[in-house]
Structure 1
Amino acid sequence: MGGAVMRFTRRQSLIGASAAALLGPTLARAAGAAPTLNLQSAPLAAVRLSPSIYADAQVANRAYLASLDPERFLHNFYLSAGLPAPKPVYGGWEAQGIAGHSLGHWLSAVSIEVANGNDAGLVGQLDHCLAEMARIQAAHGDGYCGGTTVERDGKVVDGKIVFEELRRGEIASTGFDLNGGWVPLYTWHKIHAGLIDAHRLARNPRALPVMLGVAGYLAGVLEGLSDEQLQQIMRTEFGGLNDSYAETYALTGEKRWLDLAKRLYHRAVLDPLVAGEDRLAGLHANTQIPKVIGLARIHELDGSAEGAEAARFFHQTVTQRHSYVIGGNSEHEHFGLPDQRAHRISEATCEACNSYNMLKLTRHLYAWQGDASLFDFYERVHLNHIMAHQRPRDGSFVYFMPLSSGARRYYSEPDNSFWCCVGTGMESHAKHMDSIYWADGQTLYVNLYIPSQLDWDAQGIALDLQTRMPDEGQARLTVRRAPRGPRRIALRIPAWSKGASLALNGKPVAVEQEKGYAVITRRWREGDTVELVMPMALTSEAVPDDPSLVAFLHGPRVLAADLGPDDQPFARAAPALLSEGGTATDLLRPAGEPGHFTVPDALGGTLAMAPFFAQYDRRTAVYFPTFTAGQWAQERGAYLAAQDHARELARRTVDRFQLGEMQPERDHRFVPGKSEVVNWNGRAARRIAAGDTVRFALARRPGAGVLQVIVFGAEAAERFSLTVDGEPVTPRPVQGEGFLPVEFALPDAGEQGRDEAEVTLTTNKDGALVYEAIMLTAD
């Protein structure tokens, strides 16, 4: 995204004493530190979306942004500053200790919209929000502007106490908290980043002094700490603080900010990446991606080779060894073992925040090297995950993108969700125009085939891009204003298209490919046209650890079987396919409109296949087990039995609690004791020290129950004891290796009149690793 450094008068800058004190020396320096980049994307103001699914998504998102009230986002901010709060706080996550993270994304998304079209209504909302933030900051007098809260002695108090404790070197964390606060630095990063965008993109003169006050307050907390203390703090998710401080340096030229950005280097995660080692298994995925984005930005500012190599290695590793067919990654928010996905296809795959951040990282890498293959990935995840993530009829968002057979999408509520993926969703669907066009000194690159108009003054060119993508593989460029002198236009030839053809002013021309592009060099004239035809083929893609488990694509679109409306239960076996020789794609037959097919189900009947992203209110199947006729004859019974067992287990499951995962721990009122989050055997877990106790709550249904505690290996079952609702329970014998359930029979919950079980787990002298707790009915 483009944006100019702005200059401010003294009068404009005085929006709070602390901010003004920081502003003077900072802006007195050169605004330099311009990054050394090979390519840049078109400024947001230079691109307009034409009618399409992308424009529809932007319109729905803009309406949602306009419906949100900055004063409700700022509710806790007012109270923290001792000011009356004019509006009630929003629900969902905004009311759960991290108020402000959604505000940061809202600031960024609104700033993108303002930069793209100068939306008058949003301009006013943004300005009012920034004015109120300046007032709140002035009331604090030290640059602080936050709304996080923390529980102390049974009471919810202002989260500023956490930051002041950190300043004194008082640091404690059990994994997803920092001194008892829910990821306060993660939230701080969102606000910092949003203020940067309000300055850089929306060019609002109020933003910079508030941002510098925010940057200065936290820098004052962190700069006095030792490197070891910072490493301790960075065990807790801190978003992309290194990126925000690097960007603050880029905007101001103040070396202080770059020095802090470099110190925010989490050795436990980043050192292996610098060394080219994949140690991602068991790590919370979206905690790590922003750290790498920050490394990439620091590289752009100071040329550090290690940061660039780590970013490239991470991107390649995640996209090739940890991602699903739609381009997203993670299961239950965590990376698994590399190339192991067959048993990680569930209702909790592909957190939307991960894809949002992987696209940001892709933009950085592309700006360095201009390789079209990076936009093959970008297109894959943008179309198949991001476009699936928002329901365009109401602008609501999905947290996980479920890929298991029969799964449905669960959407946010306008005022009562505000998950992290709602925040990133606000941004993702504001910026569909931001990566279509790129340029260097000689070449204009067209990377995404999204209907749009370009008017890029700095490049001296204006053109229209007409296309029916992703329905049809064709695109037409029409030059409206031609640049002076010869100029290269490069159109990406997608990896999914074989035999692409090109015509200039209606006459076929040879496709001269360069780094994945068809390049035309000429002295362009107004009215010149370029037509690109990209044949779409059916392809299949197997998971690395099970070649018989396949997904299908038609051109860039992932296909899925329509298994019925999402308001109806899916109560049958997952579909399977029979394939004799040839390829799995031979089974599909065209059915009506582009991208629609049919395929026989091995269990009988015919499956309707359609683009996955657009099945917003349907249950779907994306991955299909395939069998030869001989295999099916032998394995059909076992397959159906396994499906019956899975459905029966799902019927009996009342509640599941993944230990070592942030939101599940909050949802289950987890009390961690002295335990710590670890990554072991490819999964997140809690390591509970010898003699320590942890507590959590699980939902129950009337009748007898069974509590399962998942451990690794039978020996681990002997390392802890349980009480449920204060009563000791005895485990059933367990044998075997790998991940195993230790089962405890529970009495009739109805007799106790309880719909919830309070579980206390205490380890013996050996301590224990615990991965998951599952509450089941007895039958």
Structure 2
Amino acid sequence: MKKQLVNNALFFCTLLIPFISIAQYPGQHLNKLSVDTKVPIKAYAFNLANVRLLDGPFKENMKRDEQWIMSIATDRLLHDFRVTAGMKVTSKSLGGWESMDSELRGHTTGHVMSALALLYASTGDSIYKNKGDSLVAGLAQVQMVLNQGGYLSAFPQHLIDRCIAGQQVWAPWYTLHKIMAGLIDMYLYTGDMQALSVAKKMSAWAYEKLRPLTAEQIAVMLKNEFGGMNDAFYNLYSITGNPKDLKLAEIFYNKKLLDPLAAKQDDLGGLHANTQIPKIIGEARGYELTGHTKGKDISDFFWNTVINTQTYATGGNSDKEHFAKPGQLSPHLTGYTQETCNTYNMLKLTRHLFCWTGDETYMDYYEQALYNDILPQQDPETGMVCYFTPLKAGVFKVYSTRFQSFWCCVGTGFENHAKYGEGIYYHNDKGVFVSLFIPSVLNWKEKGIKIIQKTNYPKSANTNLKIITKSPIEMPLYIRYPSWAVSGASITVNGKSIKIKQAPGSFIMLNRKWKNGDNIEVSFPMSLRLVATPDNPKIAAIAYGPMVLAAPMGKEGIVPPAPFSDPLKHDDYYTYDYKIPNKISNQLNISIKDYKNWIKPSGNDNSGDEFSIKDGTTGGVLTLKPFYEIHRGRYNIYWQFK
């Protein structure tokens, strides 16, 4: 993301803290919050520590994520903080957006703390907690040496002063949000009390900094991107009950964006997308803690607007990080679509809305984005991640470098691949929602029951669920019936077929007394479908079940030395040159009405998810395969039909 000043706000991606609002707390050290949820809840998130991934592509991504995070030295993550405090340093600064000439320096350290906390919860391995504790201890020392009323950052406080004055600066509150979010996560997921102490001191500094400002000064300050500061302060308030934390969250209410949304006005076209999404998550959190329905109204309207008018087939949004004119997506199939931070944050917002409603629609989107934008983000050879998921015909993914990039999407990427367990299962007072079909084990300790899910989904339409319990338990099991599963579904319990009364786009309820060893087989036959752009029904992606299919387009014109990793300076990332050969095209001389007649299973890998598509005029044949499997080469997703 290039440093561009538009309307006095520097635009780039952001992230928010892991979902803690109506989940059981992810650590035994916490008995309850100081502030209870004030709104009705239909589905509660499970403690992440109660879910373990089994072998499959998600666990493979998590392992590569672990290796990368652990390879980054703690001293390098603390380097810029220590320099700012005038402390002695013996390590080198990290590169890219973490270099000493970057005004965003320090944001990655916050992301890494969050990722380490998530990895500890996801695996139980203390190596991640220990590294996180070391980062917290180092930051506490910096905060003490700075001795500025609790201020803590890798840049001097005058960057905040420039932001308040409306002067050009690269989003200092954004970075402080990442640091606070990481500290809160370390407290919630690992029980690090020092992390909570440091976060409280940061909040005390912020309160004294902002308390004297007029409404006009606040409005000027909020023109600059501030990430999810409102969400961070709401979450801190939920822990502390301190009314000053609540006041700080309310200070970061951005009227210019939020008031029109509350009035159900869509003014999103042209706005920097990920400047806005975290603000909505903060309002969703505020609704949960205060009961004020304005936050709910804003969240509902924003989510539906973005999904219906701004979202590509893969679940991502934005072109060069900005929203399009409502519904006008076909002109925006470029090399700079789908900043993955946006998808990260839309998934956070989606979890809030699902918990309020239990509506399967939200999990349909969650699955769409998870399989087609988050899972494909990571390079399986190196573990590096991409910033954009480009959609122009013939592009390829450009991945980060291990120690030199540290874009915003690297930071959210650290978290994306550390927390796959958080969206698979939910519960109400009675039973379990099986929302995603990912190999995993759920341990619902309070009920004395385990669910082992084994599946090769989405390579296979089948999922197996096995019940483990010491004594029989009567409990409903709610199994998601995806809206794309128009070919029906089948379920057997211990080999006996179960009649399904529900329709696609709902949850199938199995209510019975479960015994140890009970076996549930679920199948959702997959079929081909088109996902067209809202403004042009003849420009469409091809999907099979939950998977968006893409055509590999070879490697012609991709020239070493750095064809798939970012060789550019951190302020030149919009200059990707894909060098797309002229012969590559997304034109198909096929009528959109009978597209299925030209797409046939190829069966090359015996998985049932690979197809060939034959152009009706030229006779040329292309292979179609799941997009998440395509790496280090050109591809195409959207097609122009007749």
TM-score between both structures, scaled by the size of structure 2: 0.89
Indicate if the aligned counterparts of 2:107 and 2:179 stay in contact, CA closer than 8 A. Answer: yes
Indicate if the aligned counterparts of 2:33 and 2:238 stay in contact, CA closer than 8 A. Answer: no
Among 332, 348, 354, which residue is 2:320 paired with? 332
The aligned residue for residue 576 of structure 2 is none
Deviation at 1:582, TM superposition (A): 3.5
The aligned residue for residue 99 of structure 1 is 105
Deviation at 1:613, TM superposition (A): 1.6
Letter in 2 for 1:33: D
1:33-52 alignment, distance < 5 Å:
33-34=36-37, 36=39, 37-52=41-56
The aligned residue for residue 507 of structure 2 is 517
1:120-135 alignment, distance < 5 Å:
120-135=126-141
SS of corresponding position for 2:532: strand
Q: Which moved more, 1:370-379 or 1:505-514?
A: 505-514
SS of corresponding position for 1:377: helix
Rounded Cα–Cα distance in structure 2 between residues aligned with 1:7 and 1:55: 27
The aligned residue for residue 477 of structure 1 is 465
Output one character per residue of 1:740-771: Cα deviation in whole Å (capped at 9) or x when no partner: xxxxxxxxxxxxxxxxxxxxxxxxxxxxxxxx
Output one character per residue of 1:413-434: Cα deviation in whole Å (capped at 9) or x when no partner: 0000000000000000001111
Rounded Cα–Cα distance in structure 1 between residues aligned with 2:29 and 2:191: 10
Indicate if the aligned counterparts of 1:163 and 1:221 stay in contact, CA closer than 8 A. Answer: no
Deviation at 1:458, TM superposition (A): 2.2
Deviation at 1:116, TM superposition (A): 1.9
Among 628, 635, 638, which residue is 1:613 paired with? 628
The aligned residue for residue 543 of structure 2 is 553
Deviation at 1:69, TM superposition (A): 1.7
1:171 aligns with 2:197: no
Letter in 1 for 2:188: R
Among 35, 57, 62, which residue is 1:32 paired with? 35
1:624-703 alignment, distance < 5 Å:
624-627=639-642
Indicate if the aligned counterparts of 2:528 and 2:543 stay in contact, CA closer than 8 A. Answer: yes
SS of corresponding position for 2:248: helix
Please tell me whether Structure 1 or Structure 2 has the larger radius of gyration of its CA atoms: 1
1:600 aligns with 2:621: no
Among 145, 152, 155, which residue is 1:145 paired with? 152
The aligned residue for residue 506 of structure 1 is 495
Rounded Cα–Cα distance in structure 2 between residues aligned with 1:590 and 1:58: 31
**1:3/1:483 Cα in 2 relative to 1: closer, same or farther (>3 Å)?**
farther
SS of corresponding position for 1:583: helix
Output one character per residue of 1:496-540: Cα deviation in whole Å (capped at 9) or x when no partner: 112111111111011133870110101110001111110000001
Rounded Cα–Cα distance in structure 1 between residues aligned with 2:592 and 2:152: 64
Deviation at 1:205, TM superposition (A): 2.3
The aligned residue for residue 573 of structure 2 is none
Rounded Cα–Cα distance in structure 1 between residues aligned with 2:90 and 2:121: 29
Letter in 2 for 1:388: P
The aligned residue for residue 423 of structure 1 is 411
Output one character per residue of 1:65-115: Cα deviation in whole Å (capped at 9) or x when no partner: 111122212212112222112311100001112111111111101000112
Rounded Cα–Cα distance in structure 2 between residues aligned with 1:188 and 1:483: 49
SS of corresponding position for 1:268: helix
1:72 aligns with 2:100: no
Deviation at 1:562, TM superposition (A): 1.0
Indicate if the aligned counterparts of 1:5 and 1:251 stay in contact, CA closer than 8 A. Answer: no
**1:466/1:99 Cα in 2 relative to 1: closer, same or farther (>3 Å)?**
same
The aligned residue for residue 113 of structure 1 is 119
Structure with the higher strand share, 1 or 2: 1
Rounded Cα–Cα distance in structure 1 between residues aligned with 2:592 and 2:620: 21
SS of corresponding position for 2:135: helix
Rounded Cα–Cα distance in structure 2 between residues aligned with 1:46 and 1:35: 25
1:719-734 alignment, distance < 5 Å:
none
Among 454, 457, 462, which residue is 1:466 paired with? 454
* Total equivalences in the alignment: 589
> C-alpha root-mean-square deviation of aligned residues, in Å?
1.9
Indicate if the aligned counterparts of 1:33 and 1:253 stay in contact, CA closer than 8 A. Answer: no
The aligned residue for residue 376 of structure 1 is 364
SS of corresponding position for 2:404: coil
SS of corresponding position for 1:518: strand
Output one character per residue of 1:283-308: Cα deviation in whole Å (capped at 9) or x when no partner: 00000000000000000001111110
Deviation at 1:6, TM superposition (A): 7.9
1:309-324 alignment, distance < 5 Å:
309-324=297-312
Rounded Cα–Cα distance in structure 1 between residues aligned with 2:553 and 2:60: 26
Rounded Cα–Cα distance in structure 2 between residues aligned with 1:244 and 1:74: 22
Output one character per residue of 1:303-357: Cα deviation in whole Å (capped at 9) or x when no partner: 1111101101100110111010101000000001111011110000000000000
Indicate if the aligned counterparts of 2:442 and 2:452 stay in contact, CA closer than 8 A. Answer: yes
**1:487/1:99 Cα in 2 relative to 1: closer, same or farther (>3 Å)?**
same
The aligned residue for residue 3 of structure 1 is 25
**1:625/1:45 Cα in 2 relative to 1: closer, same or farther (>3 Å)?**
same
TM-score between both structures, scaled by the size of structure 1: 0.73
Letter in 1 for 2:549: L
1:402 aligns with 2:408: no
Among 418, 422, 443, which residue is 1:434 paired with? 422
Rounded Cα–Cα distance in structure 1 between residues aligned with 2:162 and 2:484: 54
Indicate if the aligned counterparts of 1:60 and 1:393 stay in contact, CA closer than 8 A. Answer: no
User: Structure 2 unaligned runs (5+)?
Assistant: 1-18, 560-578
Rounded Cα–Cα distance in structure 2 between residues aligned with 1:496 and 1:223: 51
Letter in 2 for 1:578: N
Letter in 1 for 2:198: V
Deviation at 1:485, TM superposition (A): 4.1
1:244 aligns with 2:232: yes
The aligned residue for residue 572 of structure 2 is none
**1:486/1:546 Cα in 2 relative to 1: closer, same or farther (>3 Å)?**
same
1:227-238 alignment, distance < 5 Å:
227-238=215-226
Rounded Cα–Cα distance in structure 1 between residues aligned with 2:89 and 2:134: 15
Rounded Cα–Cα distance in structure 2 between residues aligned with 1:403 and 1:323: 12
The aligned residue for residue 563 of structure 1 is 553
Letter in 2 for 1:589: K
Rounded Cα–Cα distance in structure 1 between residues aligned with 2:630 and 2:162: 48
User: Structure 1 unaligned runs (5+)?
Assistant: 9-26, 149-158, 173-178, 628-779
Output one character per residue of 1:219-240: Cα deviation in whole Å (capped at 9) or x when no partner: 2211221222111111110000
Rounded Cα–Cα distance in structure 1 between residues aligned with 2:248 and 2:549: 46
Indicate if the aligned counterparts of 2:122 and 2:418 stay in contact, CA closer than 8 A. Answer: no
1:197 aligns with 2:185: yes
Among 60, 77, 100, which residue is 1:56 paired with? 60
Rounded Cα–Cα distance in structure 2 between residues aligned with 1:74 and 1:581: 55
Deviation at 1:482, TM superposition (A): 6.0
Deviation at 1:603, TM superposition (A): 4.5
Among 175, 179, 185, which residue is 2:173 paired with? 185
Rounded Cα–Cα distance in structure 2 between residues aligned with 1:437 and 1:82: 47
Indicate if the aligned counterparts of 1:328 and 1:381 stay in contact, CA closer than 8 A. Answer: yes
Rounded Cα–Cα distance in structure 1 between residues aligned with 2:440 and 2:28: 28
Q: Which moved more, 1:96-105 or 1:596-605?
A: 596-605
Rounded Cα–Cα distance in structure 2 between residues aligned with 1:373 and 1:446: 14
Rounded Cα–Cα distance in structure 2 between residues aligned with 1:4 and 1:385: 26
Among 532, 541, 550, which residue is 1:542 paired with? 532
Output one character per residue of 1:666-699: Cα deviation in whole Å (capped at 9) or x when no partner: xxxxxxxxxxxxxxxxxxxxxxxxxxxxxxxxxx
Identity of aligned residues (%): 34
Greater RCO (CA < 8 Å, at least 6 residues apart): 2
Rounded Cα–Cα distance in structure 2 between residues aligned with 1:108 and 1:333: 24
SS of corresponding position for 1:196: helix
Deviation at 1:130, TM superposition (A): 0.9
